Each structure stands twice: as structure tokens, then as C-alpha cells.
Amino acid sequence: MSGVEIELRGVTKTFDRSVEAVAPMDLDLRPGRVTALLGPTGCGKSTLLRMIGGVETPTAGSVAVRPKPRIGFCFQEPRLLPWRNVLRNVGLPLELDGRPRDVCRREAQRRLEMVRLGDAAELLPAALSGGMRMRAAVARSLVADPDLLLLDEPFGALDEVTRFRLDEEVATLVREQSITVVLVTHSISEAVFLADEVVVLSPRPARIIERYEIPFGERVASLRGTEEFARLQASIYACLRGGMMEDER
Amino acid sequence: MSRRAGVFAAVWPPLLVVVILLVLWELVVVLFSIPEYLLPTPIAVGRTMIEQWPRLIAATGRTATATLAGFAASAVLGVVAGSLLSLVPLARRGIYPLTLLLQMVPLVAIAPMLVIWFGIGLPSVIVAACIVSIFPVIAGTLDGLQSVDAGLEEIFRIHRVGRIRTWWKLGLPWSIPSVITGLRIAAGLAVIGAIVGEFVGAYGGQHAPLGAIITSALKQNQTSTVFAAIAMASALGFLLFGLVNLGGWILLRRWHASAQ
């Protein structure tokens, strides 16, 4: 369950033969760890994530994910089917895999309890707040017991308080289950809070500027107030800003 | 606002317009002394409706049978055809423009051919109703399937779900609002198709449907009968439209803005 290893070799992605989203890139991600791909908006980090998830094929190079994982994907938007209640939305990945209905319901309910949405199972997405919808989307991404979880700026559209709370929930969930996680974000504090390693990317086309090991163990809310957290944030900010300034020159 | 008050608020403005138009119509005919064979008064039409009620209601039942059968056929075939056109891009490019012919060919011109092909009676009238009403259903289904949210489609792609299953679990439910829009237009057209089909393809006499009553009354200058039959056909159209709206409301009320 914790053994997914990701290896990118000379990976590039060019759209419409002219828009280079990802410059040739080598990247190794170790199993059972949370890696944040951090970069400015539009730098190609989501494209990188989608290539890891197999949704996008690289223009050149290779992406190896070993062993073949069960992937959970959580997007920038909740992407819930509006005609299905929350329970059936969360159970959708299992249903699409052909699992029996009672298993889908049971597992979906269990994941809903995990994200504190147990009481909302029978509601339609329209009846939920933005934060609740995102929590349902997180529950859906975890329902099939993924060994690789890909998070594409999942809480980018939420207010900061809700976002912090969801970050804390996700940090606990993925560490409890030792899932390999790749998180795409443009929030430095989110990257430092959630990840074991932060990979800082340049503006488009994405290339690696720097990699930071994050030394924290347990991720609790109080971590954000520590000196070490602020120091790491400042250091990553300087790196990111340097990359952007260089690009502007 | 209570539901009853809501229904009243929706119904009274068009009802008032109808009453005003009927009063104006009555006044124009009386003031200008227009003979009844040219334009009967609404009161004369109402009198005819009362006098011929058993015949008219039986005729409306026959026309309703053909209309409902034609409408049901166009609903089923339209959704199937729209889905196939969406699933097979080559067919969409090759066949979809040709389906416009269903809109453009005048039914009056092909109705006699339908009689030759399907014989006099119900089958040719059903086919006429179906031909006239199927295009909006095809277009509505295709539009709905073509506009499925790309993000939701991606979820199905990630799970490597086949096209047919994606159509069933995502495309079809997503398309319900635009299919309902197509069916609303089709409801009125199906009545028109059935009436025109009955002009040439229905039995007259005791078992005449509304279309046949209109043609025979026209020949005998019984204009108020013509208007009475038209009123019944209009009521049938409204009823079918209302049923489609009700079905749409039941299906969409919990999750789609158009039904809330």
C-alpha cells in the first residue's frame, strides 16, 4: 500500500507544437511520502501531475509509476455529479470499477465519516457549502484505497480558514494510511504544511529550481506558528521569487 | 408564496390575454357583420363545441392516440439517434446536417406518400407526427451530450470507463435538461404532425379524428366546427406540453436550476 515510486526521465510537454508547458525534467519521488510541486500560476505543474496520473501523455521522455498504482485524483474543483447524492458521488470510483453496490455504499459512508460528512450522505451537492463539496471530493479520491493520491490545488478556491482545516484533515488522513501523495499548489504555506518534500518549479515551461526537505513530523495546526515553519516559508518564497524575477529578465 | 398562489400567478396573465382576445374577436365579427362561414364568433364556436361535444371528444381521443404514439416514437428514436451521432463522430459530421431535412421537407407534401407506404389510418398519422417532432429531440440530445462538463468526463477517463458506460452514467443524465427542452418543442410539433397527417391519411365518418373533421367541415363551410376542432387540438398540445414540463420538473427539481 505504501510502495509507489515515481520516476520521470527527460519528460517534456508541448501543447499545439509551440506552447512548452514542461521543460525536459528528471524527477524521482520516493514511496509513501507527500511531495508538493510548488510554482506560480500557469507554470505547468498541473500538467506534470496529469502526466504522473496518466491523464496526459508526455511529448518526450518517460513517466514510470511502480508498481502500477490505484490512483486517487482530487482536482481544483469538486467535480461532483449534481444529480447524485453525496454518498453515490463518493462511491463512484468503486462503482466504475464494478464493485457491488453494498460495498460502494459501505466504503463511501466510511470515507464520509472520515471527512466529517457522515450526516450529509443523502444530500445533493447543491445543498453543500464549498468546503463540504471539497471534503466530499477528498473522500471520493480516497474511497478506492489509493496507493497514489494526486491533489491538484484541491482547496485553492476556498477561504483560508476552511483551507487550513482541510489541509490538517488531509495531512492526518494520508499519514495514517501511508499513501504516496503528489500535491500541486501555489500556496507556500500549504506546501510546507502538507509535504515531506517541496519541489519548487519555475514559471512556464516548468523546470525544477530547488528541492526542499521538510523536517516536520506530525502536522498539527500549531505548526504554522513555529519559527521553523516561518523560516522555511521565507526561504521557499525567496527561491520562488528569484525564479520569477529571472524569468522576467 | 404557496404553490397554489404560484400556479395562479403563472396562469392569470396569459388567461387574461386570451379573454381580451376573445372579446375583441367577438366585437370585430359583430361590429363588421362578418358572415359565420368566414369567421364565426367565439360564442358560436363555443356553442358548436357544446353541441358536438361527444363527437369532438372522441375525435380528440383518436388524435391524442396518434400524437402520443408519434411523440413517444420521436422521444425514443430522437434520444437514440442523438446519442449515436454523439458517440460516432463520423456519423455526426455526415448525417447530422442531413437530419435538418426532417425540419425542411414540408409534411403536407410527403403526407400522401406516407399514406401510400403505411396505408390509411393510424400508422401513417403516427409516422407523420414522429417525422415532424423528432428533430428537436435529436438536436437537444446531441447538444446535451456535446456539452458534458470536461472535468466530469476526465473522472470517467481516469477510471478507464468505456464510451457506452460513460454515456449511460454521465452523458445521458447530464443531457436531461436539453432533452426536455427538445421534448417541449416536439410536443407542439407532434400535434401539428398528427393533424396534418390526418388531413390525408385518416378515415372520415364516425371514426374521424380532429384532422379529418377539419377537412370535412371546411368542405361544407362549417367554419365554427373547424374552429372547435382547432381549439381541441390546441388543448391537446397544451396538455402534452404540460405533461413534458411535469416530467422535466420531476426529473430535475432536485438538482437543476431550470426546474427550481
**What strand order describes the sheet that includes A208-213?**
A71-74, A148-152, A180-185, A34-38, A197-201, A208-213
- CATH fold for the domain made of A5-69+148-248: Rossmann fold (3.40.50)
Listed in sequence order, the residues at least 6 apart from B40 whose beta carbon sits closer than 8 Å to its beta carbon are: B29, B48, B223, B224, B227
Specify burial of residue B248 (Cβ count, 10 A radius: 0-12, 13-18, 19+): buried
pLDDT at A1: 44
Of B152, B159, B173, the CB nearest to A79: B152
Give the B window 161-220 contacts with A, CB below 8 Å.
Answer: 161, 165, 169-170, 173, 176
Residue type, B172: L
State whether residue A124 sits within 8 Å of chain B by CB. yes
Pairing type for strands A197-201 and A34-38 reads: parallel
Look at the block and give the residue holding cell 409534411: B107
> What's the rounded mean pLDDT across residues A109-126?
91
Is the pLDDT confidence value at A157 over 80?
Answer: no
Is the pLDDT confidence value at B143 over 90?
Answer: yes
Is the pLDDT confidence value at A239 over 70?
Answer: yes
Instruction: For residue A96, give the C-alpha cell.
Output: 466504475
Share of chain A above pLDDT 70, in %: 98
**Mean of the per-residue pLDDT values for chain B?**
92
pLDDT at A248: 67
State whether residue B256 sits within 8 Å of chain A by CB. yes
pLDDT at B1: 61
Look at the block and give the residue holding cell 484505497: A145
Q: For residue A47, which of A71, A64, A23, A31 has the smallest C-alpha distance?
A: A23
List, for residues A12-48, the tens digit of each pLDDT value.
998 888 888 888 889 999 888 899 999 888 888 889 9
Name the DSSP class of A206.
Answer: B
pTM above 0.95, yes or no: no
List, for residues B73-124, the tens digit of each pLDDT value.
999 999 999 999 999 988 888 888 888 887 787 888 888 899 999 988 999 9
List chain A domain ranges.
5-69+148-248, 80-146
Distance of CA B132 to the CA centre of its chain: 9
List, for residues B146-202, the tens digit of each pLDDT value.
999 999 999 998 888 999 999 999 999 999 999 999 999 999 999 999 999 999 888
Instruction: For residue B157, give the C-alpha cell.
Output: 477517463
CATH pick for B37-259 out of 3.30.230.20, 3.10.450.50, 1.10.3720.10, 3.30.300.30? 1.10.3720.10
Is the pLDDT confidence value at A92 over 70?
Answer: yes
**Mean of the per-residue pLDDT values for chain A?**
89
Specify burial of residue B110 (Cβ count, 10 A radius: 0-12, 13-18, 19+): middle
DSSP string, B69-118: HHHHHHHHHHHHHHHHHHH-HHHHHHHHHHHTHHHHS-HHHHHHHHHHHH
State whether residue A82 sits within 8 Å of chain B by CB. yes
Mutation for testing the A interface, residue in B154, B179, B180 having most A CBs under 10 Å: B154
> What's the rounded mean pLDDT across residues A126-148?
91
Instruction: For residue A196, give the C-alpha cell.
Output: 515531506
Share of chain B above pLDDT 90, in %: 74
Report the distance separating Cα B55 and Cα A6, nearest Å: 79
Quickly state the pLDDT bin for A96 (edges 50, 70, 90): very high
pLDDT at A245: 73
Q: Determine contact, residues A117/A86, Cβ cutoff 8 Å.
A: yes
List chain B domain ranges.
1-34, 37-259
Quickly state the pLDDT bin for B43 (edges 50, 70, 90): very high
